[in-house]
Amino acid sequence: MVILFDVLSRLPLSVLHRLGALLGWLIYLTSRRYASRLRANLEHAGIEGGTALLHTTIREAGKGVMELPWVWSRPLHQVVASVGQCHGWAHFEAAHAQGKGVILLTPHIGCFEVIGLYVAARQPITCMYRPPRYPSLDKLMHQGRERGQMKLAPTDLGGVRQLLKALKRGEVIGVLPDQVPGNGEGEWAPFFGRPAYTMTLIGRLIESSGAVVVMCHSERLPRGSGFALHFSPVSFDRGTSIPKQMNASLEEVVRQHPEQYLWSYNRYKVPRGALPPDENKDS
């Protein structure tokens, strides 16, 4: 794996994206489960685009796989320089200037891996991540992500404490808001009209630290020319379910670049031990 990453990282991003488009089709045509989930999630979202949108989504998903060695293995300054456009950075700076800590929500859109590194080149950021099953991949993940001023916090109680400490120091934390949490760590909230088990961690962190929330998504630019980052402020009404509000905000962002959202992710799965949404509603 390490050798493969090293070899692929030496290729230009434009070449990797062309290879990724082919890989996307290969995975789609050879994995019935993958293809079925991608189509179902995209169709249930009700986003216009039809077959053309499906085909673009297939290619973009493959690009996301092939660009990972480049993002994780190239020197940090090259990765940061690949961000050719940055929209709304003033929103991030204004949030950080309040000194309460910033929760940066980075959904599965485009090359979301580049967001944390872009911020880490400028200031401390602690990002939550789910440790993989294989130690070699975990080592590779740490080497690729813990650069600049980035630290990783695992998805356990110790990791949550690490996030809270960072916020109380007035620093930035990064969280994937559309990651399915474990049983007891979320609630069912609508996402594109379907119940999705959604993390309650964001609400708890806001309550404990008074942190400000900012959304950032990455847009993959054409022909491997790099990436564009889009920052936008997010405010939550304390009297309403924060997971529901967060999913509504996510929907707005996804609709901007639906072809680059990770529709193949099993967003609507029921975590082990959790009650399905219908049973949970009746209990």
Residue 17 lies in a domain: no
Adjacent-strand bridge partners of 195? 190
| pLDDT score recorded for residue 126 | 97
- Which residues, at least 6 apart from 79, have a Cβ–Cβ distance to it below 8 Å? 70, 71, 114, 117, 118
- Give the chain's length: 283
Considering the domain boundaries, does residue 188 fall inside one? yes
* pLDDT for 238: 83
Q: Examine residue 213 and state whether it is found in any structural domain, yes or no.
A: yes
Look at the block and give the residue holding tokens 């961000």.
Answer: 83
Show the domain range for 224.
77-282
247 is a domain residue: yes
Encoded amino acid at 93, one letter: E
Residue 33, domain member (yes or no): no
Q: Specify whether the CB–CB gap between 187 and 217 falls below 8 A.
A: no
Q: What is the pLDDT of residues 35-86, one digit of tens each?
A: 999 999 999 999 989 999 999 999 999 999 999 999 999 999 999 999 999 9
As a whole number of angstroms, the longest Cα–Cα distance in the chain is 55
Q: How far apart are the first and last CA of the chain?
A: 46
The answer as to whether 125 is a domain residue is yes
- Identify whether 220 is part of a domain: yes
How confident is residue 283, by pLDDT bands cut at 50, 70 and 90? very low
Higher pLDDT, 239 or 263: 263
For 141-169, write each residue's pLDDT tens digit. 999 999 999 999 998 999 999 999 999 99
Percentages (nearest 5) of helix, strand, coil residues in the chain? 50, 20, 30
Evaluate whether 66 touches 9 at the Cβ level (below 8 Å): no
Q: Is residue 256 part of a domain?
A: yes
Half-sphere exposure of 274 (CA within 13 A, CB side): 22
pLDDT category of residue 281 using cuts at 50, 70 and 90: low
Nearest-CA neighbor of 118 among 104, 139, 97, 131? 104
Domain count, the chain: 1
Q: What is the pLDDT of residues 111-137, one digit of tens each?
A: 999 999 999 999 999 999 988 888 878
> If DSSP codes are grouped into helix, strand and coil, which group holds residue 236?
coil
In whole angstroms, what is the distance from residue 17 CA to residue 23 CA? 9
Dihedral sign, CA of 236, 166, 117, 108? negative
Comparing CA positions, the residue from 6, 73, 72, 58 lying closest to residue 28 is 58
Name residues whose C-beta falls within 8 Å of residue 227's C-beta, 6 or more positions apart in sequence: 82, 83, 84, 85, 110, 111, 114, 218, 219, 220, 221
Stretch (H or E) spanning 220 = strand 212-220
Q: Please check whether residue 171 is in contact with residue 126, taking contact to mean a CB–CB distance below 8 angstroms.
A: yes
